[in-house]
Each structure stands twice: as structure tokens, then as C-alpha cells.
Amino acid sequence: MYEFDWSSIPGALPFLWAGMKTTLEITALAVAVGIVWGTLLAIMRMSGIRLLSWFAAGYVNLFRSIPLVMVLLWFFLIVPALMESVFSIPRTSDTRLASAMVAFALFEAAYYAEIIRAGIQSVHKGQMGAALALGMSYGQAMRLVVLPQAFRNMVPLLLTQGIILFQDTSLVYVSSLADFFGAAYKVGDRDGRLVELLLFAGAVYFLICFSASLLVKRFQKKVIA
Amino acid sequence: MISIRKVSKHYGSFQVLTDCSTDVQKGEVIVVCGPSGSGKSTLIKCVNGLEPFQQGEILVNGISVGDPKTNLSKLRAHVGMVFQNFELFPHMSVTDNLAIAQIKVLGRGREEAVDRGLKLLDRVGLLAQADKFPGQLSGGQQQRVAIARALAMDPICMLFDEPTSALDPEMVNEVLDVMVGLALGGMTMMVVTHEMGFARRVAHRVIFMDQGRIVEDAPKEAFFGTPRSERAQQFLSKILHH
């Protein structure tokens, strides 16, 4: 019978907290950039300009058809070289966090684009007509009239996607970046207490995601009411 | 003021408008009627370029709507439009609905825009509702706010696309009263409606459309007295006898 020994966790808390901060940083940035870039992609995809809608459709389909782990690995390999040639940052510096952020942001944008496109389409078509009839430009009508309504309808979906992303950030372990999961793994590996540490990490992920999704549900009820 | 010259429009092979021509003089009130699917809403939406058309020409105040070089936004800013489903912006208060386009399109200051908006809100009898949201108002009230919103842009003419069709019967008159007031005040109006009482009271001319064509375009007395076309006679007898 396996004997649990949790004693290595209390001492490792500061290190684990630092990992959690990395996880939260990646999540927050990917959500923020993902929503902005995703909105642009959604607008491009719905625009009458063929080149733009093709580009957006291609982008979304590409990222949605590739496993996230592979996208992450690509960026770990590509971003350092890019930083070296464009910003002349030496390859030796640690760009793992930056490349993880870029990879997640670009990847999530593809998912956000589809959510946002559905959100924009959920706004009654006459709203755009009314805004244009008042003399607004297409951009003004989108920004002032259509998008605010679309986002209000979408908030629960966007938050749910954020929760999924929060879990997916654990995939950065492929670059041995110490996010929360990576930090837990490292501590467990060091102390020979992998089972305890991974159980602990799992419990923390569960607690955070479960309470976040409860909040989303509550919010959803408020929006519908 | 509005000149429609041989306008035709089709969706693919489906002809929506065929060779439509008419003129609306300054201060004139034109009622456009006809069975559903006759193209009357499409025609009125062509006037401010919300619907594109393939052939013909529409001039509003001398500016060609179909010309790709025309700044449509600038033109629309001064052509008021009222929709069947009101289309107030549900995420804004009544006051913001009235002010937003004045601020963003006409470049008015917020204070001036709100001031102008509230004056018009008072004119449609809804000053007390200024801080409410559209969802808290009845259909008739929403449509009156929509009319005030269009008027706040100081339009040179007003287009109404079946403004009372989505209303409960008891609310139709409060909206028509506002429109009658506008007509008597000399506003140039093009109104798609089946409200023949409104047409009898204030219209100068009535246009009857069927299958995308203007079948009849006559002064109201002539239209209600002796419609020339059989189709218009049938239509009138149907909607006037119940």
C-alpha cells in the first residue's frame, strides 16, 4: 500500500505560487490578445472582401486542425530565432515564456474568432441597418452598436473558453517552463513525491476551474434574466 | 428632393424592383402601399442606400445614391429612417440612443446632443422615459423614440418602413399621431404603410406597388376615388372593407 507523504508541499508553496503566477500571466495575456485578434479575424471573415475572409477562414481552420502541443513546440523553436533576427535578442536568453504567450494567443484567437463570429451574427441584422441609416460608418456601427451587444451575449462562452485555456497552459511543460503544473512536477520529481504533488496540483486546478465555472453559470443566469 | 429614375434590382435571377420611377417634392408626403413582397420596403431602403440596386438612378437632394463615389454615410446622416422593428439600441438608455449619432456622426458636443434629443423626446411625449432602456418601453413608445432619434439628426426628409406593422393595435395611433404632426409641420416624408387612414389624412400622393413595379402613382383623391388599375382596386377593396 502506497503511503502518502505531503510534507514536501508546505515548503514548496512559494515556488508553486510563482508557477501559478506564470500560469495566470499566460492565461490573461492569451485571453486578452485572443479576444482582440479573434474579433478582428471574425470581422475579416464576415467582410465582403474575399482576400480578408479567405485569410481569416484559413487561419481559423489551420489552428483548429492542429494539436495545441505542436503549435507550442513550433513556437518554442521559431520565436527564439525570430527574436534574434528582428530584435537582435541573443538566442541564449530565456524566451520560453514569450514564445508560450505568443503561441497561446495566436491559437486561442482562432477559437475566439468563431465564438465572436457567432456572437456578432446573433445580433439582430436591423441593428446594423439602423446604425448605418443614422450616418455611422461600418466601423462605428460595429464598435458602438453591434459588438457591445455581441459581447454581452458572448461573455459566458468567452469565460468558459478562458477556463479551458487556463487548463491548457499546463501543456507548456513540453518546454520545461515552470508554470504551476511544471513547478509541481519539478518539486515532486526532486523529492520523489510525484504522486502527492500531482494530486495536489490536480486539486488546485479543479478548485479554481470549478469555482470559476460556477461563477460563469451564475453570471449567465443574470444575463438571461 | 427625392428623384427615383428607372430603378431595377434583382437578387440573382429574382427581380425585386422593375423600372421604378417617381419624384418626391420638398414638403410632400408620399404613402407607398401594396401587397407584401411587392418591393415597397426594398424601394424605400434603396433611397438611403441600405439596399443596393443594379440599374437606374436615385437622387436625394441632387446627390446620386448609387454612385460609388458618393459618401453614403454623409448622405444618410440627413435622411431619417424609421424601421418596422424600431431598432433602438438595446444596450443604451433612451437618452444615449438619441444622442449617440449626433455626437459620433455630426460631431456635436454631448451636452448639445442630449439637449436636442430631450427636446424631441418631449415632442413625442416621452420626456419622462429619458433614463429608461428600450426594453422597458412598450412598442409604441419605442417607435416614438426611434422617430425622435431620426429627427435629432435634423433630417431633410424622413423614410418610414412600415412603422406601425409590428405594433399592437392600441399603440398604432400614438405613433401615427406623431407622424401626422410631422407631416403637417411640412416634413418631406416617404411612408411605406397600410394605414389608409393616415394616407387619407396627410398624404399628397399614394404609390401602389405590385410585383416590384409602381402600378399606380396618383394624388390621394384620385387614388382613393378611382384607382385606375384593377390590381389597386382589388387591394383597396380588401384592406378598406374590414
- Rounded (10°) angle between helices A8-46 and A147-168: 140
Give this prediction's pTM. Answer: 0.84
Q: In chain B, positions 122-181, which contact chain A (CB-CB < 8 Å)? A: 149-150, 153
pLDDT at A148: 94
* Residue A152 touches chain B, beta carbons under 8 Å: yes
Q: Which domains does chain A have, with CATH numbers?
A: 8-224 (1.10.3720.10)
Closest CA in chain B for residue A132: B73
Share of chain B above pLDDT 70, in %: 99
In whole angstroms, give the CA distance from residue A20 to residue B34.
67
Closest CA in chain A for residue B146: A130
pLDDT at A34: 94
Q: How far is CA A128 from CA A123, B46, B179, B193, B201, in A?
A: 9, 16, 24, 23, 33
Closest CA in chain A for residue B155: A134
DSSP type of residue A141:
I
Nearest residue to B163 via CA among B186, B187, B139, B181: B139
In whole angstroms, give the CA distance from residue B48 to residue B73.
9
In whole angstroms, give the CA distance from residue A212 to residue A30.
17
- Cβ within 8 Å, pair B79-A133: yes
pLDDT at B55: 93
Sheet holding B2-11, edge to edge: B14-24, B2-11, B55-60, B63-64
Q: How far is B95 from chain A (nearest CA, A)?
A: 15
Tens of pLDDT along B126-141? Answer: 999 999 999 999 999 9
State residue B226 phi and psi, 5-degree precision: -140, 80
Split at pLDDT 50, 70, 90, the class of A172 is confident
Judged against a pLDDT cut of 70, whether residue B241 lies above it is answered with no
Split at pLDDT 50, 70, 90, the class of B231 is confident
Tens of pLDDT along B41-75? Answer: 999 999 999 999 999 999 999 999 989 899 999 99
Q: In chain B, positions 88-107, which contact chain A (CB-CB < 8 Å)? A: 88-91, 100-101, 104-106
B129-147: b (≥16 Cβ within 10 Å) or e? bbeebbeebebbbbbbbbb
Nearest residue to A109 via CA among A61, A57, A39, A202: A39
Q: How far is CA A139 from CA A34, A213, B109, B148, in A?
A: 20, 33, 21, 24
Judged against a pLDDT cut of 80, whether residue B240 lies above it is answered with no
Split at pLDDT 50, 70, 90, the class of A225 is low
Tens of pLDDT along A71-110? Answer: 888 888 877 777 777 777 776 667 788 888 889 999 999 9
Average pLDDT score, chain B: 92
Judged against a pLDDT cut of 90, whether residue B242 lies above it is answered with no
- Helix, strand, coil percentages (3-state) for chain B, rounded to 5, are 40, 25, 35
